Amino acid sequence: MAMAVAQKFNHLLSSLWHVGQKPPQPEPVFTVDRAQVPPLFWKPYIYAGYRPLHQNWCFYFRTLFQRHNEAVNVWTHLLAALALLLRLIGLAASVDFREDPHALPLFFIVLASFTYLSFSAVAHLLQAKSEFWHYSFFFLDYVGVAVYQFGSALAHFYYAIEPSWHDKVQAIFLPTAAFLAWLSCAGSCYNKYSQKPGLLGRIFQEAPSALAYVLDISPVLHRIIVSPLPAEEDPAL
């Protein structure tokens, strides 16, 4: 009799223990085939490794440490952003960015580079949430690219430009660089949203960026062209 009561009591405790516990949750599926995501997310020649849509945000942050079709894009930008951040912290220990006006262009180009890389890493990591967030994060990515374009123009204008050329273009160089950076961002966003195929779509995205690159690099090219013996006459080159 006592043995039967003990067995029933033990069975009751065991039942209560299992009731209090949550059932084990299945491990989430981190990647699916291309056929299981909308065509907006498709990449040429990539047929697997896509992340499923409409998961919670924690899921997409967890994919930082999973293999998927955007993993290389995320990590190449993220590691470069961290390296730049560490470099900026190291420079701040030896360069007075607040009081030295000659150091400000250096601060801006490093900050612009960090902005571009971090925005791009976030975009590639989180864009698979939904179609809305896909557009939103890649628009953010294009903003980062535009910031980097203008930061490059700013650094070249103050550090690389030849003095006589500086006097001729100082009134228009930076405003034009800002306009082309905006135009590059707007063209990329328009092409992304409209999904124009072929050459026309590439023109909307690439032509403003090409013009911005030509302007941004022009101080360096001009200085090289007008310096016949850079090793002797222009130590900066």
Q: Which of 131, 101, 104 is nearest to 41 (CA)?
A: 131
Count of beta carbons in the 10 Å neighbourhood of residue 216: 24
Q: State the average pLDDT over residues 31-36.
A: 92
Rounded CA-CA distance 143/136 in Å is 11
Q: Provide the pLDDT for residue 230.
A: 53
State the average pLDDT over residues 63-82: 96
Angstrom distance (rounded) from CA 59 to CA 30: 8
Question: Residues at the annotated binding site?
Answer: 124
pTM of the entire predicted model: 0.83
Binding site for Zn(2+), by residue number, is 124
Q: Which residues of 5-21 are buried (b: 16+ CB within 10 A; e: fewer)?
A: eeeeeeeeeeeeeeeee
- The ranges assigned to domains in the chain are 27-69, 71-237
Residue length of the chain = 237
CA–CA dist 36, 103 (Å, integer): 51
Closest CA to 162 of 146, 173, 149: 173
- pLDDT for 32: 93
Model confidence at 198, pLDDT cuts 50, 70, 90, reads: confident
What the block records as the tokens of 96 is: 């007075």
Bridge partners, 46 (sequence order): 43
Average pLDDT over residues 11-28: 53
Q: How confident is the model at residue 105 (pLDDT cuts 50, 70, 90)?
A: very high
Contacts of 19 (CB under 8 A, 6+ apart): none
Band of the pLDDT at 2, cuts 50, 70, 90?
A: very low
